[in-house]
Amino acid sequence: MNSIIFQHHTVLSDVHMLLPNACHLMRRLNRVGQPVFLSKFEILCNGQKDASKDSTKESVKECEEKDNQEEDDQKDKKCKQEKHKEEEERNTPVVLDEDGDLDVTHRHEALMNVSKHTVFVYRCDLGNCFFFSSKVWRGALLLADFIFSVPLMFKGATILELGAGTGLTSIIMATLAKTVYCTDVGEDLLNMCKKNVTLNKHLIEPTGGEVRVRRLDWLQKDFCTDADVEFSWTEEEIADIHNKTKFIIAADVCYDDDLTDGFFRTLYQLCSNFNHICQVFISIEKRMNFTLRHMDVSCEAYDHFRHCLFQLHDLVDGKCRFRVEEVSPDFPQCLMYERIEQLELWKVTVTPLRLDSDCD
């Protein structure tokens, strides 16, 4: 009998923060048929009352007007169909089985299954945040907490976020920074992220910040500069990234070994072209799973992340020096989520060696 050889396994756990009484509304389906939900983030801080509800509602209304009519038509149609089915059920005579017991007619399975979706609600003094998304990971909330705890650090800076997803941390960062490049891949995801930026312009515009949604594929070597491609880069923006980026942030992006390799490769390529010191903040959650390879509970994705992280720390290439350290998660928690011990925040300080030689 041939021995069993286990190939690469990726096991992801659904980490939800379910609020049973909260309202989560499906707005539409994306291009591959996945549902997109509207999640509300209420932010109040220091016991202050919410004074920006009117402006928030206007922002949401402006972004949703195009979809509302179609949604109403679909709801009316569905409501009529359900009423018709209910009338049919009322008119259906009682049916008994051969033993004289009631033969129950079950409703359609599709009507019985109710999906549960993640809704996160946190409070601070920035008004209300709204996001079109199906999930926000706890790593993003940990990173957002850190941003809130050191606002002067990011004030007026140029920031690059890798693997931004919904764009939550980019939007929060833009309330402090001057320019935030919010990057990811996938046209539908980037459009969703752009919509989130529009929905939350009432937070960004008063501070003078700006979020630019751009495509950045870790598995490709170069920036996409094709003007015909949406979310492509201009030469001026690429120069701005290389000359002014003080911080790079990433939240919960290391869950697949190939993507983790691409992430660190991209990080190295970017930082090796900088002429200044740059700090990188990476949040991650250790997700423990039972794996067939070890026949035990482990976290292979996290182990690979640590391996790549300290490879970067030990790298000697004559261009940059990478210093890795873990950030203690003892900063204040202002967002409502469970800050479990598996949540970690790492800091990488990148120093071009020519700066060290200049100091000497």
> Is 62 part of any domain?
no
Tell me the helices (H) and strands (E) count for the chain, helix number first. Answer: 11, 12
Q: Is the pLDDT of residue 67 over 80?
A: no
For the chain, the domain total comes to 1
| Domain extent at residue 286 | 137-359
> Is 291 part of any domain?
yes
- Retrieve residue 223's tokens: 């920036």
> Is 21 part of any domain?
no
Digit-coded pLDDT (tens) for 245-282? 999 999 999 989 999 999 999 999 999 999 899 999 99
Average pLDDT of 203-212?
Answer: 93
Q: Which residues pair with 323 in a beta bridge?
A: 349
Please give the backbone phi and psi of residue 68, each rounded to the nearest 5 degrees, phi first.
Answer: -60, -45
Write down the pTM of the prediction. Answer: 0.70
pLDDT at position 253: 95
Between 239 and 317, the higher pLDDT residue? 239
Q: What's the N-to-C CA distance of the chain in angstroms?
A: 65
Residue 108 — very low, low, confident or very high, per pLDDT cuts 50/70/90? very low
Q: To 5 degrees, how large is the angle CA 130–CA 131–CA 137? A: 125
| Euclidean distance between CA atoms 143 and 41, whole angstroms | 16
Between 355 and 41, the higher pLDDT residue? 355
> Is 132 part of any domain?
no
> Is 329 part of any domain?
yes
- Residue linked to tokens 């020096």: 321
CATH number at residue 353: 3.40.50.150
The mean pLDDT of the chain is: 77
Residue 40 — very low, low, confident or very high, per pLDDT cuts 50/70/90? low
**36 CB-side CA count, 13 A:** 20
Q: To 5 degrees, how large is the angle CA 27–CA 30–CA 35? A: 50
